[in-house]
Structure formats: structure tokens, C-alpha cells
Structure 1
Amino acid sequence: MRSIALLTITVLVLLGFNGATASPDLLKPYKAQYQVSRGTFVIGTAEISLTLSDQGAYNYRGFTTPVGLAAVFRKDEITEESAGQMINDKIVPERYRYHHKKPKKLRQVNLEFDWQTKRVTNQIADSNWSMEIPTGTQDKFSQQLSLMLSLCRGEKMAEFEVADGGLLKTYRYTEVAREAIRTESGEFDTIKMARHKEGKPSNTAIWFAPSLNYLPIKIAKHEKDGSYVMELVSITWETPAN
């Protein structure tokens, strides 16, 4: 399930807290269903949703659970959530939550961003730490929204500093191809991006569909225990919250 969780992440510069609202032409609220496969077997499902308010507040949430034979052996449920503000068309995370529920154990990670002091506080079980962060730092989940915004602006490369595992890590995304991709939800022209973490060779590729407001419709990740793929099954566009 850790590999499934990494797939759901899988996705900037802060210009100041002036209360600017989000551009209506960029991110749109939605609820999407994905299936997660390993080889020819579907091993999990993921629901990812984005809510936006008229004032620019966002909530980005993913919920992953095993299905089929995988559910017989694993009862894990993973919830990942990022919340914050969209200011001047930039993502500004304020808090991040990761809950990995196992039959006999619950792993929780909680991050709180303080942009006045430019520090992030992380709480894992009984451990707390705080570190200094530069302007534009993302959490592991909000970086996908920032990448979608970069693609909306026509950028072919994006780089983010991410608060990840008690460290500040650099994630770089580069365009590698334009491809037509078919999933259960239909066929789409896509932009294929490769993800590089800390300058290491890429083991993750993400396909974004411009016709779906640059929503990721496919994510492929290669792990030591095999290759995992997450593909879009359905999407529902929502209305912004007040």
C-alpha cells in the first residue's frame, strides 16, 4: 500500500498574502475515481477530490483502499490531504495530513506551515520537529496542484521544494512526450511528464490531459517489487464552495 500511496501523490513562488482569489480559468473543483494496478491485476482504488472556495481556499484529498485479492491480504486505508490558499494563482499549503490505517496500527503525519516565520512543523507519533522553509515550499500532495498550474501556463519544466520526511527535498518535472492515452474514462491527448527526486533518475511518469483542465489521467511508478499504474476511471466536475 505504500507504493499505492506514492502514486497518489505522485503532483512555487509565494507572492504575498494579499487575499487575491483564484483565476477561474485555472484549477476547477472535481472528484475523480482511479484504479491502481500491478501488472494485469487491479489491486486498489483511489478517490481524489479538489474543493475550492470563492475566496481561494483549497482542500485536496485522496483516499486509497485495496480491492480484489489485495483486499484479502491487506486491509489498509490511506488518506492524504493538503489544505491552504491559492494566491495569485500559486498554491500556498497551510497544513498536510497523512493517515495510513492498518488493522493493528495507524501511522499519522501532520504538517503545519507558518508562512510568517517561514517554518514548517511536523508531528509523527510522539516526535515533533520544525525546520525553516523557503518561499514557495510545497507538501507532498500540494505539489501536484502546483504542477497542474505550471502546465496551465504552458511551462514544460517545473521544480518544487517539498517538505518531505523531515527534510526539504527538490522535485523536478520535465516534459518528455505528447501522447494519446486511452483509459476506462476515454481517450485523451496528454502531456507526459517525468518526475525526478533529488536529482535521481526518474522512476515516475505522469500523463496530464489539457482537455480535462490538466488533470492527471495516468501515473506509472516503478518500484523494486514491481511496476504500479494508476488510471482515471471517471470524473465529476463540482461547483466552487462559497
Structure 2
Amino acid sequence: MTKPTSIRSIAAGLVLALSTSAALAATPTPFTATYQVSQGGQVMGEAVVTLKPVGNGLWEYSNQTHGTSGLAAALGANSTETTRFRWNNNAPETVIYDYHMDAAIKSKQRHMEVNWTSNQVSVDEGKGPMTYPSVPGMVDRNTAPLAIGMALRGGQQMVALPVAVKRNVENQQFKVAGKDSVSVPAGNFQAERVVRSDSDKAFSAWYAPQKYPVPVKLAQSDGGNLELQLVSYKNGN
């Protein structure tokens, strides 16, 4: 690992834009998934992803990343991304998204709310809100991996999803590029390898969609050669 700024990319690893354009096949099931986070082949942290119902038709999807070794640990780098979404037309739609990153030398935050009555997105990073129109079926970067996993479970091979980012909604597109044998701490899997087809940023995510709705492995070069490997997965709250 080379730069403190790359710590922020750990949390983004599980939440890079993945997507689906068709209706998803099933409703969510609560779970907890734990990942080992590495950079340049060196273990540097742990990410815990959870999904649970919170009432009133809403679900909470959370990704908590902690630096456990190297510079990440020395800086006390921790980040949390939490989304509350509704399950609408057999697909997730973001209602509220929050991101917090804290380290000894830097902190960052983002709060996003979607008003589905007025179809407006409001994003605030502490300098006042920015607004732009929402898009039906829109998610954020945090919930996109869940959306792609459930789309793969439904048999889709080409995927696209409107993803709310800082200033606008991006139509991000991905495809299944092949099937690979993948070995991670959680076990050995015959996985579907997903790559992004609308961007030149190197990114691959491996899913075993009939077992888990989230990746068993994820690798990206943007942000410092980060890799996440599934360590454990447990159904239930």
C-alpha cells in the first residue's frame, strides 16, 4: 500500500457500480458476509456487509470496513456505508444513503436522500446539498452489488442499472465475461466473472449467485490494486 487516500477505496471495493436492467427474481434475505481486504497482495483490512429489514417496507444494507494491519491500522482508518432501500417492482430503490470515512489524517462524509414523490435526489458532503432528478429503479454504489447478485441469480448475463453518484445518475453496464474456479477463505467456487462494459477501469467481480447474492471475490486496479475475498457468510439477522 502506498497512499492514505487509497484507504477510501477499501470501502468502495464492494460498492463499485454493478447493475441490472430487468426485474430481479426474488426478495432479499437477511445475511452477514465478512471479507478479507488486500492491496498489492498484502492483507490490510476487513469488511463486514449486512442486510436486514428495518420496518415500513425498508431494508438496510451496510458495509463496515476496518483497517487491521499496515498503514490502514496505523491511521485508524475505518469507513461505513449504509443504505436504506425499498423493494419496489421486484428491485431495490435507494431511499437514504450515508458514507463516513474516518482516519487520523482525513475524514469524509456523504449523505444522500431520494424523494420518490418529487423524484429528486439530494446529495450533501458537508458543503450544502446538490440536487438532480431521480430515475426509476435507481440505486447507489453501496447496494449495486446486491442488485447484480440477485440479477445473476435470475439468469441475467447482461446487466445495466441507474446508479446515483455525486452529481447525477449514471447508467452503468456490466456483463458476465466467463466462468472461473475461484478459491477464497470461504471455500472453492465455480463463479461467474462480471466485468464492466461501459468503462476502461479494470474491474472484475466473481459471483456464485445460487449460493450468495454478493461477490465471493472482487478485484480492481483503480484505487490501488484492491482485492476482497469472502471469508464467511451467514443467513439471518
CA distance in 1, matches of 2:22, 2:111: 22
TM-superposed CA distance for 1:72, in Å, is: 4.5
TM-superposed CA distance for 1:87, in Å, is: 2.2
1:234 counterpart letter in structure 2: S
CA distance in 1, matches of 2:149, 2:199: 22
Q: Tell me if 1:74 matches 2:75.
A: yes
Look up the match of 1:101. 102
Look up the match of 1:218. 217
Deviations 1:43-95 (A, max 9, x none): 11100001136864211000011112234432111100111211232101101
- 2:140 alignment partner, SS class: coil
2:218 counterpart letter in structure 1: I
CA contact (8 A) 1:157 1:175 kept: yes
Provide structure 1 residue ranges, at least 5 long, that are not aligned to the other structure.
16-21
- 1:213 alignment partner, SS class: coil
Of 15, 28, 40, 1:9 maps to 15
Q: Tell me if 1:235 matches 2:233.
A: yes
The alpha-carbon distance between structure 1 residues 221 and 42, as it changes in their structure 2 partners (threshold 3 A), is same
Q: Tell me if 1:190 matches 2:191.
A: yes
RMSD after superposition: 2.3
1:6 counterpart letter in structure 2: A
Deviates more, 1:50-59 or 1:164-173: 50-59
More strand by share: 1
- 2:215 alignment partner, SS class: strand
1:216 counterpart letter in structure 2: P
Provide structure 2 residue ranges, at least 5 long, that are not aligned to the other structure.
1-6
The alpha-carbon distance between structure 1 residues 26 and 189, as it changes in their structure 2 partners (threshold 3 A), is farther
Deviates more, 1:42-51 or 1:210-219: 210-219
The alpha-carbon distance between structure 1 residues 74 and 231, as it changes in their structure 2 partners (threshold 3 A), is same
CA distance in 2, matches of 1:114, 1:56: 16
- 1:116 alignment partner, SS class: coil
- 1:212 alignment partner, SS class: coil
TM-score (norm 2): 0.88
> After superposition, where does 1:173-212 map in structure 2 within 5 Å?
173-196=174-197, 199-212=198-211
